[in-house]
């Protein structure tokens, strides 16, 4: 994940719309006494878990579809996670590779019990079909085989996912340089680690290599904490709920500066506590803060990556 860290730092050093405030980071670190506030992976009980390969299949389908909820004010990540969980409880073959290749829009809505077209529904179907085809072609139809191919390495798992599944290749061009963020590929590794509590399919010896997952919520929380500062033009765009184009300088800076800022937070916290702090743990804490604050205003971008 060094390419994610390095390219995010490159953006942060050249950003004109988003600034990482070092004093803001230090203030936040002063408020954390002893350890990061602990947040369990499934703290709302919304995920499927049976301790076996079916959970891995569930998580991979979940993270293939885990993007862009904002155009529908009623839809959230919780609806997706719990809807897929219920679908699997009703029919354990719902996410078999051959079936993933054939879902239609109405069938996906029925699976999630959602009454109207999903945001970016055609893209969600395309990615679902892609997952089914490639799992069948290269991994015997099972995401658990994909995970086993990684040799218990989160870094290798992210590389495998982005190599085999184009829909997970989350990168963009910023001022002539390629910037890597890999939100959904990394969150798949983190979800495995969290769900299986670092054991079995979740045993990833280098989970510390994973960065945070640059999405809508984390930048907004970091701004609220005083870690990120926005230009007046960007702040006005977000406050007006105006769309920010995918791949624009503003959008790349929001995401990359979030990764860079949390890496700085992690480094400071590790020194303060005298032990390794995981970006995964910081992300869970920041994300849980965000979703518990309904009034939090986030940027709006139509993207398949987050």
Tell me 39's DSSP state: -
Burial class (CB in 10 A: 0-12, 13-18, 19+), 283: buried
Q: Are 46 and 82 in contact (CB under 8 A)?
A: yes
Among candidate residues 126, 283, 134, 143, the one with its CA nearest the CA of residue 218: 283
Q: Are strands 171-174 and 177-180 parallel, antiparallel or unpaired?
A: antiparallel
Q: Are 166 and 130 in contact (CB under 8 A)?
A: yes
Tell me 61's DSSP state: H
215 as an active site residue: the answer is: yes
H or E segment to which residue 167 belongs: none
C-alpha–C-alpha distance, residues 140 and 80, integer Å: 26
Q: Are 291 and 217 in contact (CB under 8 A)?
A: yes
Tell me 149's DSSP state: T
Burial class (CB in 10 A: 0-12, 13-18, 19+), 32: middle
Among candidate residues 267, 248, 261, the one with its CA nearest the CA of residue 218: 261
Annotated active-site residue in 63, 170, 191, 215: 215
Taking each continuous run of H as one helix and of E as one strand, the counts in the chain are: 14, 4
Among candidate residues 161, 176, 166, 173, the one with its CA nearest the CA of residue 246: 173
Query: Residue 77: CB partners within 8 Å, gap ≥ 6?
Result: 66, 69, 291
**Active-site positions?**
215
């Amino acid at each position: 994940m060094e390419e994610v860290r390095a390219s995010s730092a490159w953006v942060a050093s050249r950003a004109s719309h988003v600034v990482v405030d070092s004093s803001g980071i230090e203030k936040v670190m002063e408020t954390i006494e002893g350890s990061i506030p602990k947040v369990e992976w499934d703290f709302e009980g919304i995920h499927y878990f049976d301790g076996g390969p079916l959970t891995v299949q569930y998580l991979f389908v979940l993270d293939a579809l885990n993007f862009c909820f904002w155009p529908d004010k009623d839809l959230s990540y919780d609806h997706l996670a719990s809807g897929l969980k219920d679908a699997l409880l009703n029919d354990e073959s719902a996410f078999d590779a051959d079936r993933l290749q054939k879902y239609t829009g109405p069938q996906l809505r029925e699976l999630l019990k959602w009454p109207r077209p999903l945001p970016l529904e055609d893209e969600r179907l395309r990615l679902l079909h892609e997952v089914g085809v490639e799992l069948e072609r290269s991994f015997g139809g099972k995401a658990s085989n994909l995970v086993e191919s990684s040799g218990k390495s989160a870094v290798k798992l992210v590389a495998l996912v982005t190599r085999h599944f184009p829909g997970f290749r989350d990168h963009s061009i910023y001022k002539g340089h390629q910037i890597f963020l890999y939100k959904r590929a990394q969150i798949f590794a983190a979800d495995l680690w969290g769900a299986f509590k670092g054991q079995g399919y979740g045993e990833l010896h280098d989970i510390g290599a994973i960065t945070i997952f640059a999405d809508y919520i984390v930048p907004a929380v970091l701004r609220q904490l005083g870690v990120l500062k926005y230009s007046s033009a960007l702040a006005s765009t977000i406050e007006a709920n105006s769309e920010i184009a995918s791949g624009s300088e503003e959008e790349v800076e929001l995401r990359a500066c979030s990764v860079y800022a949390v890496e700085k937070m992690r480094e400071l916290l590790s020194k303060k506590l005298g032990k390794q702090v995981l970006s995964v743990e910081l992300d869970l804490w920041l994300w849980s803060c965000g979703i518990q604050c309904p009034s939090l205003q986030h940027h709006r971008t139509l993207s398949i990556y987050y």
